């Protein structure tokens, strides 16, 4: 009996010893895992409010990475609780987009990656966002002053660190002008520019200054004053209530802007024809906007009317008419036939193609290069050519 009892005790002892050995083997795999190792990608694409960075993972530490990204702060030890991106899991290199940054601010960034053991961080880098400022612009002198027109412009010496979305000049007869008053819109970018003012009132004092706008706001140049010359300058409205300024040249009174009415002066609609094949075969009144794009060309260049619309005698506002050829000749003779075109054309290259150096627009007529629509329906010569109707018919097949 004693021998049997001892053998049983021995077996129990072995079982007790074997249990700790089994548990120790199961924990051995986790004993050697570590936090991930990684490095931070240098910041790039830095603007006023955003930048890009990322991380390159050299080791997952022997445990699967379930989260990674970058964290940043204005302090030199950024942590995830500051600001952080979440760019997925895995041990692949990654890029991160940092948003909501402040202009002209230095930030510290480092990549991070997390596994079951903990979070590893890359090296700390720093960058400074771009400075967001309004542009710097000066106003050019006011020149070529007539009773209804003038020219000025501006010189942009700094874009403020970001793209300029619009520039031109603004003017007012009563107060220091802003872009909420009358203004030109002459382009984008950073450069010197020329601005042409139209529709001014005779014998009136104006204040004018250049402006330039970027995402930070609008900057203004120095304010200048000028006074238009005396002369007749009234306005007339068409049946669509479009307003046109007028100018007196010699004994004649002309509209400054091109017609853009969609109805005859008796209220009848003028058919709008966009299709080329229909335009080609028309023997009835019609009009179109250049390139069938009213939003781009209507307000600047007016409409393109065919001969049959002109021939009705009802195209202009009541009391006005499309001039006959004899009236065009009177205008040309008054200005001097060799120089009439230069005296009628708008100055500069805001609308006319370069160089347009001969133009003076001393009449205030402000002729614009609105192009043509041919008898084949094609749109041609925008910025290169302006054409105006006469009511004098050349022959029955060509007008």
Look at residue 360 in the predicted model and tell me its pLDDT.
Answer: 85
pTM for the predicted model, two decimal places: 0.48
Task: State the average pLDDT over residues 6-26.
Answer: 42
Model confidence band, residue 396 (pLDDT cutoffs 50, 70, 90): low
User: How many CB atoms lie under 10 A from the CB of residue 79?
Assistant: 15
pLDDT > 80? residue 8? no
Query: Higher confidence at residue 45 or residue 22?
Result: 45
Look at residue 399 in the predicted model and tell me its pLDDT.
Answer: 46
Q: Are 331 and 341 in contact (CB under 8 A)?
A: no
Task: State the average pLDDT over residues 107-112.
Answer: 97
pLDDT > 60? residue 3? no
Model confidence band, residue 49 (pLDDT cutoffs 50, 70, 90): confident
pLDDT > 70? residue 97? yes
Per-domain boundaries in the chain: 37-128, 136-227, 235-382
Domains 37-128 and 136-227 share a fold: yes
Look at residue 364 in the predicted model and tell me its pLDDT.
Answer: 85
When mean pLDDT is compared across 80-94, 266-280, 305-319, 355-369, the lowest value belongs to 355-369
Q: Residue 97's closest CA among 107, 106, 105, 87?
A: 87
Look at residue 348 in the predicted model and tell me its pLDDT.
Answer: 86
Angstrom distance (rounded) from CA 199 to CA 371: 22
Q: Are 66 and 179 in contact (CB under 8 A)?
A: no
Task: State the average pLDDT over residues 195-214.
Answer: 90
Look at residue 31 in the predicted model and tell me its pLDDT.
Answer: 64
When mean pLDDT is compared across 89-103, 184-198, 320-334, the lowest value belongs to 184-198
Task: State the average pLDDT over residues 374-378.
Answer: 92
Model confidence band, residue 285 (pLDDT cutoffs 50, 70, 90): very high
User: Rounded mean pLDDT of the chain?
Assistant: 88
pLDDT > 90? residue 139? yes
pLDDT > 80? residue 216? yes
For residue 52, CA distances in Å to 99, 120, 175, 227 come to 9, 20, 46, 53
For residue 248, CA distances in Å to 76, 159, 240, 358, 399 come to 71, 41, 24, 22, 28
Q: Is 37-128 a CATH 1.10.3720.10 domain? A: no
Question: Which CATH number does 136-227 carry?
Answer: 2.60.40.10
User: How many CB atoms lie under 10 A from the CB of residue 117?
Assistant: 15
């Amino acid at each position: 009996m004693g021998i049997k009892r001892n053998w049983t005790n021995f077996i129990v002892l072995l079982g007790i010893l074997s249990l700790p050995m089994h548990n120790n083997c199961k924990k051995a795999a986790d004993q050697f895992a570590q936090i991930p190792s990684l490095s931070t990608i240098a910041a790039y694409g830095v603007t006023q409010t955003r930048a890009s960075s990322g991380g390159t993972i050299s080791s997952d530490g022997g445990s699967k990475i379930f989260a990674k990204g970058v964290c940043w702060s204005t302090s030199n030890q950024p942590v995830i609780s500051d600001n952080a991106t979440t760019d997925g899991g895995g041990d692949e290199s990654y890029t991160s987009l940092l948003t909501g940054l402040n202009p002209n601010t230095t930030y510290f960034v480092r990549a991070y990656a997390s596994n079951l053991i903990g979070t590893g961080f890359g090296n700390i880098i720093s960058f400074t966002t771009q400075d967001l400022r309004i542009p710097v612009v000066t106003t050019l002198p006011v020149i070529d002053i007539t009773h209804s027109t003038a020219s000025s412009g501006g010189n942009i010496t700094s874009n403020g660190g970001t793209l300029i979305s619009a520039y031109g000049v603004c003017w007012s007869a009563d107060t220091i002008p802003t872009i909420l008053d009358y203004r030109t819109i002459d382009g984008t970018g950073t450069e010197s520019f020329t601005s042409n003012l139209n529709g001014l009132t005779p014998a009136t004092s104006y204040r004018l200054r250049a402006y330039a706008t970027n995402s930070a706001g609008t900057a203004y140049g120095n304010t200048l004053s000028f006074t238009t010359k005396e002369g007749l300058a009234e306005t007339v409205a068409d049946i669509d209530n479009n307003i046109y300024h007028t100018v007196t040249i010699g004994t004649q009174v002309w509209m400054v802007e091109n017609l853009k009415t969609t109805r005859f002066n008796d209220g009848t609609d003028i058919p709008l024809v966009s299709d080329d094949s229909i335009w080609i075969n028309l023997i009835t009144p019609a009009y179109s906007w250049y390139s069938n794009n009213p939003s781009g060309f209507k307000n600047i260049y007016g409409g393109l009317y065919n001969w049959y619309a002109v021939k009705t005698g009802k195209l202009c506002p009541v009391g006005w008419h499309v001039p006959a050829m004899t009236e065009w000749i009177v205008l040309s003779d008054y200005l001097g036939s060799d120089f009439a075109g230069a005296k009628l054309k708008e100055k500069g290259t805001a609308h006319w193609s370069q160089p347009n150096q001969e133009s003076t627009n001393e009449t205030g007529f402000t002729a614009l290069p609105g192009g043509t629509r041919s008898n084949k329906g094609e749109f041609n010569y925008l910025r290169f050519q302006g054409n105006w109707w006469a009511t004098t018919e050349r022959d029955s097949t060509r007008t």
